A = this chain, B = another copy of it.
Amino acid sequence: MILVDGHRQREVDVADRAFSYGDGLFETIAIAGARPCLWDAHMRRLSTGCVRLGLPLPPFELIRAEAESLIAGVEEGVLKLVWSAGRGSRGYARRGCVPTRVLSLSPLPDYPRQWWSEGVVVRWCDLRLASQPRLAGIKHLNRLEQVLARAEWDDPDIAEGLLRDQNDHLIEGTMSNVFVLGDGELVTPALDGAGVAGVMAARVAELAAAMGLRTRTSTVTPAAVDMAEALFLTNSVIGIWPVRRLEDRVFAPSRLVRELQLRLQQEGDAPRWL
């Protein structure tokens, strides 16, 4: 089910700047218990993206109403919102463009349940993310780096690939944020040059803080990852995946990561995967 500017259709104009240049933003929002999870945080990140890209802010109440109409009667799923710069003439200048909004509802992906209970297998990607502070942190539509990185493997048993920047520092997964547990604290990579500031990552850091576990933002080397006590991945749809194995490094199950998963589920901020 798809709504384009409020209409039930599944087409956009070829002159839309999202199609021409990836000129826009998106949010991927989990539906759980028949309601969108972490809505306000998603709208805040979208707003930050609008300011960074110089796009008008979206009509939040209208989008919420349209989202509710799509979700009606749906217990679980994934709601994707695209906020594009809209239809324009040829050329990079946005002259009098009116943004396009696209809401689409999909079923939850069918990942194996043991990816939550036992953890996932992940790999290092070869592609190194470029550093572009003007685009770092926001969820924009220029995603060729993620597409190229995801194309590096097709083994269905590998759940995610980890991305480094050109200084070989860990940044994120192709579709997730990464947390490293060690020395009684969580460390998550600094995202000022590359990466997406995850809505779920921020929520998980809050839940960890409530458990007395602080989250520090820092550069993270592959050596630090190797020495970690535990590693886990977050995004809005999966919530938390513990990492069971990264290349040859096997991680023992972590009581703390399990506790975070359960708290997240209790809060209703992610689908009930466990």
Contact = CB atoms under 8 A, between A and B. Distances in A.
Interface of A: 2, 4, 10-23, 26, 28, 53-54, 78, 80, 82, 84-85, 89-94, 102, 104, 106, 109, 127, 129-132, 134-135, 140-151, 154, 166, 174-175
Count the copies: 2
B151 A144 contact: no
A94 B19 contact: no
Contact of A144 (B21, B78, B145, B150): B21
A93 B109 CA distance: 13
A151 B93 contact: yes
Given A11-B14, A54-B148, A92-B174, A132 B134 contact: no
A141 B11 contact: no
A230 to B, nearest CB: 25
A21 B149 CA distance: 13
Given A19-B18, A19-B19, A131 B131 contact: yes
A86 to B, nearest CB: 12
Contacts of A20: 18, 26, 82, 141, 143
Nearest to A194: B130
A198 to B, nearest CB: 15
A147 B94 contact: yes
A215 to B, nearest CB: 26
Nearest to A150: B92
